[in-house]
Amino acid sequence: MKTVIALTLILVVVAQATYWNQIRPIQPYRDAIRKFQAYLMNGREVAPSGPGLLPYQVLISNRRKFCVGSLIKEDKVLTAAQCCYGGRFFRIVLGGNNLHIDEPSRQIVWPTKATIHESYNPSTFENDICIIHLDFPVSGQGIAPVRLPSCCLLSETFAGRTATISGWELTSDGESSTITAQLVRRNVTVLENGVCRLAYPIDSSKTICAKGISGICNGDAGGPLTITECDGVETQIGIASFGPPLVHGGCRSNYPDGYTRITEYIDWIKKMA
């Protein structure tokens, strides 16, 4: 069965091969950002959700883009470079699961400093990684850093592993789409590097491709791709970077999604964080 699935994925990817200039970043529309700001300012009464669902998850906006990130230290947020590129001020929301509820665990901070990878290419999404530096450490109920890969995982490709993606995505590719109020997560399967290269002309040593029933959509950029290790703790292995072009289905495509491979940037993260 695994062989059949792998061959099917390869055939789908080969049939739909694309080029860099067609790949789209997974950032939202300006209208959605205005709706996002309204959600945070004007809560609506909906079913409550307890804090701590994903304590490392953060929501990021800089008045131009709406993205996701992960808390990796009490004063450091890891996200995609495309989320920091061109921005000077950031609004970071921590400890919240539902945008319609003024949850007691929610904290909002306004950092002004970010470090984008020095070799980031906004055209090809190479080295799509950034660290946002908070002005002070954050802590509290429902807020905790995510674990990053240990040295024993640095040579892992994670192919075949079940991973989890999460975020407050837009409901579709269209400009009339809205942001999902509730933080959502879903499972995907990490693909072999060879399948990834068939889908996109990339350096697969620095990119993870993953595919599920549904994948990342607009607004998921910068979000964490995690696996659960044998001790039951989640470890972040990727950063949501890009999705397939709209001409091939966008959020509902048979293409895999692309993630920055964190194991290739551990030294950079340690240096900058």
Range list of β-strands (E), 80-148: 91-94, 107-109, 113-116, 130-133
**How many CB atoms neighbour CB 122 within 10 A?**
13
Q: Same domain, yes or no, for 192 and 95?
A: no
Q: Same domain, yes or no, for 163 and 194?
A: yes
Q: Same domain, yes or no, for 115 and 156?
A: no
Mean pLDDT of the region 15-24: 43
- For residue 58, the domain's CATH number is 2.40.10.10
Kindly list the distances between the CA atom of residue 20 and the CA atoms of 79, 123, 126, 132, 200, in Å, as whole numbers in the listed order.
21, 7, 11, 27, 7
Q: Find the range with the poorest average confidence among 58-67, 121-130, 144-153.
A: 58-67
Instruction: Please state, in angstroms and rounded to a whole number, the distance separating the CA atoms of residues 44 and 47.
Output: 10
* In-domain check, residue 246: yes
* In-domain check, residue 22: no
pLDDT digit string, tens, across residues 32-80:
333 433 333 332 322 334 555 789 999 998 777 788 999 999 999 999 9
pLDDT of amino acid 40: 31
Q: Which of 102, 133, 164 is the last residue of a domain?
A: 133
If pLDDT is split at 50, 70 and 90, which confidence band does 172 have? Answer: low
If pLDDT is split at 50, 70 and 90, which confidence band does 180 have? Answer: low
Nearest to 184 by CA among 217, 143, 148: 217
* In-domain check, residue 225: yes
* In-domain check, residue 102: yes
Q: Find the range with the poorest average confidence among 103-107, 153-157, 190-194, 228-232.
A: 103-107
Instruction: Record the pTM.
Output: 0.81
Q: Same domain, yes or no, for 70 and 151?
A: no
Chain-centre distance of CA 104, in angstroms?
25
Q: Same domain, yes or no, for 80 and 151?
A: no
- Say if residues 105 and 95 touch (Cβ distance below 8 Å): yes
Range of the domain at 36: 30-133
Residue 83 token pair = 């989320």
- Say if residues 236 and 226 touch (Cβ distance below 8 Å): yes
Q: Same domain, yes or no, for 129 and 150?
A: no
Tokens 């059949």 appear where?
4
pLDDT digit string, tens, across residues 4-13:
334 334 333 3
Segment of 161-165, 203-207, 242-246 carrying the highest mean pLDDT:
161-165
Q: Which of 83, 108, 133 is the last residue of a domain?
A: 133
Mean pLDDT of the region 152-179: 77
Q: Same domain, yes or no, for 35 and 124?
A: yes
| CA triple 228-229-233, angle to 5 deg | 70
Segment of 86-90, 108-112, 178-182 carrying the highest mean pLDDT:
108-112
Chain-centre distance of CA 46, in angstroms?
26
Instruction: Please state, in angstroms and rounded to a whole number, the distance separating the CA atoms of residues 210 and 203.
Output: 15
Sign of the four-CA dihedral 115, 185, 237, 139: positive
